[in-house]
Amino acid sequence: MSAIFKKLKQECYEANMELNALGLVIYTFGNVSALDRENGVFAIKPSGVAYELLKPEDMVVLDFDNNIIEGKMRPSSDTKTHAYLYKNWDDIGGIAHTHAMYSVAWAQSQLDIPIFGTTHADHLTSDIPCAPPMSDELIKGNYEHNTGIQILDCFKAKNISHKEVEMVLIGNHGPFTWGNNAAKAVYNSKVLETVAQMAYLTLQINPKAPRLKDSLINKHYERKHGKNSYYGQ
């Protein structure tokens, strides 16, 4: 493992191990990537390798055109999606993809996750978007690359910002999350899964449960993220 990418690979490895530790993946599913914007590369988990067998040196380093810069294994099958997002969103530093149960269940329902409570509002002020299932034309093409297009098209159609909403569901597929680094992307994956479970249970208890009112949405978001926030130390 070259010295230049040692820190990047370690960050990527730790994020992938955290994804597994949080119970967000099954078997070899799921992946996290970590970005080195200065060198125009990112590291990602190799494809189909059990988490307990992973080592930092196993992480694969690629450029934004999916050329392998360093690594002996094949990168994650979702690599082209990561590359597309990095190429188009120059302010993110990590991406995670899981097959977590409740997140995937909502993706399979092809529904946005409504904002029902303050846990949701602590992190974002809108519903969690679900992109429509991919068109047949895109499925027949460069599928993983086109998944990136699918995500950007969803945000454009719903007129939301990836800076404010750091997560998305892909219809019939599953969730992608991102952040300023790999650890934040994993954090967002856990938040998404928890909110997805809460929303599901809410609708089981009361199928007509009302959305959280705007005053509470704004209060909880602003106290944590606003200019006069007072959450934390």
| DSSP-derived 3-state class of residue 135 | coil
Strand order across the beta sheet in which 174-179 lies:
68-70, 60-63, 41-44, 31-36, 94-97, 174-179, 167-170, 130-131
The answer to whether 90 is a known catalytic residue is no
Please state, in angstroms and rounded to a whole number, the distance separating the CA atoms of residues 57 and 117: 42
Please state, in angstroms and rounded to a whole number, the distance separating the CA atoms of residues 182 and 16: 9
The answer to whether 231 is a known catalytic residue is yes
Here the tokens at position 135 are: 């068109």
* Catalytic-role residue among 51, 63, 112, 122: 122
Here the tokens at position 5 are: 């990418």
Catalytically annotated residues:
122, 231
